[in-house]
Amino acid sequence: MRAIWILWLRQIKRYSRARTRLIGSLGQPILFLFALGYGFGPIFARAGHGDYLQFIAPGIIAMGIIFNAVFGGIEIIWDRQFGFLKETLVAPVPRLAIVLGRTVGGATTALLQGTIVLLVCLIAGFHIRQPLLVPMALVFMFLIALTFCAIGTAIGSMMKDMQGFQLIINFLIMPLYFFSNALFPTAGLPVALRWAVRLNPLTYGVDGLRGALIGSLSLVMATDFVVLAALAMVLLGIASYLFSRIEA
């Protein structure tokens, strides 16, 4: 437990020092928020679906979380190249504790990033319709962060090249984001696309987050929570296994 706590604090300190990374990771969500939220807002309203900014804001918050979370895996490659990972691996602590500390720490920093994006959305005109469910929204944000931190850790444990990691992450994350319910409603989609959205883990996170913040659900919030929590645990187990195979 002490090792998990130490690694968690290390990830938080890294985040607090990485001001350039913080500003850079905010750029894309803010761009999507204003360009899509206001650009497609009139079209969305004419289609009879209401205020697009209210609909898209939870998806933008998820964007701010997942890109920060998944790129935490590149720190494994960075530490491996500069020898810091070897020092961690030879420490007398279980590797499971190392993975848990890094992943939970990365998920915490991604949650902080998502909270900042939420504040930006509020400034832009987003309204939380269910204030009492804000703690539940934070739970969904943390589960999204934990899921994608585990994905980043798993991929980072298998790779030694930073450029290759970035290519694979972009190839994986962008389809997951665009083929979810983050940017468009799922009602009326073609059957094949509807199944692709339903099999996407991000769909459950965004749906739960949207339900907690504005009360709009396409599924059941309990289902969103169970599916996302179970998937986070499975991916965390896979990440732990792959990390345990790294040679000191």
Alpha helices in 90-133 (DSSP H): 95-124
Burial of 34 from C-beta contacts in 10 A (0-12 / 13-18 / 19+): middle
Q: What is the pLDDT of residue 3?
A: 47
> Looking at per-residue confidence, does 14 or 38 come out higher?
38
Listed by start position, the domains of the chain span 2-244
Q: What is the pLDDT of residue 185?
A: 81
Burial of 89 from C-beta contacts in 10 A (0-12 / 13-18 / 19+): middle
Q: Is the alpha carbon torsion for 224, 227, 233, 234 positive or negative?
A: negative
> Looking at per-residue confidence, does 127 or 164 come out higher?
127
Q: Hey, what's the torsion of the CAs at 53, 30, 22, 236, to 10 degrees?
A: 50
Range with lowest mean pLDDT among 85-89, 146-150, 222-226: 85-89
Predicted confidence (pLDDT) per residue in 78-136, tens digit: 767 766 666 666 666 666 777 787 788 888 888 888 999 999 999 988 889 888 899 99
Q: Is the pLDDT of residue 173 over 70?
A: yes
What is the pTM for the complete model shown?
0.86
